Amino acid sequence: MNAYSEIGRAWQERPDQFEAAQRQRLIKWRTEPVTLRIDHPTRLDRARALGYKAKPGFIVVRQRVDRGGRQRPQIRKVRKTSHSRQNLILSKNYQQVAEERAARRFPNTEVLNSYFAGKDGTHYWYEIILIDKESPSITSDRRMDWIASATRRAFRGMTSAAKRRRGLYRKGIGTEKLRPSLRAHNRTK
């Protein structure tokens, strides 16, 4: 087995030494800013599988997202029936919210992908792989130059987390209305 397989197995099986190290990591992460650029990915196996390379133009950001329901703004001078619940029901998952926040924080980059890094009782942490579109090492790389022409992938639902949320990884019966999107399907009628 190679080193990446061992790292992945440790994240899945979570032995005692791993749990202790992860607990210490989370204690440290709670004191850090919400969006933090880091030098190296925490889960190197996952980052490499999602396209990360240790070369100029690749940026890794750790993004913290609060767990729990999302509250609506305070309701004032409006009939209660038009705002029937205080909790806001969003169709986005935490990972997509984290990608969008990281993309807003680094506007000159494009989101390549992201992966789960940890959670506690109040927060989720995701590590987002961002690409600097103007970097010469990206524009000269045949495998990555496609992202130089991409725009706002995180906000348009083009990342892996957003496609999963939109149901685009499913096929067949029950998915007739998902393509090209729910809104486009309803517009055609």
Model pTM score: 0.86
In whole angstroms, give the CA distance from residue 150 to residue 113. Answer: 13
Q: Which is more confidently placed, 112 or 90?
A: 112
Helix (H) or strand (E) holding 109: strand 109-119
Half-sphere exposure of 29 (CA within 13 A, CB side): 27
Kindly list the domain boundaries of the chain, sorted by start residue. 3-150
What average pLDDT does range 10-34 have in this prediction? 91
Please report which helix (H) or strand (E) contains residue 103, including its range.
helix 94-105
pLDDT of residue 73: 66
Q: In 173-189, which positions are buried (b, 16+ CB within 10 angstroms) versus exposed (e)?
A: eeeeebeeeeeeeeeee
Q: What is the pLDDT of residues 52-95, one digit of tens each?
A: 999 999 999 999 999 887 776 666 666 666 556 667 767 888 99
Query: What's residue 84's pLDDT?
Result: 62
Architecture field, domain 3-150:
3-Layer(aba) Sandwich (3.40)
State in Å, rounded, how far the first CA of the chain is from the last one.
54
Question: For residue 97, what are the contacts with CB-CB under 8 A and spacing of at least 6?
Answer: 65
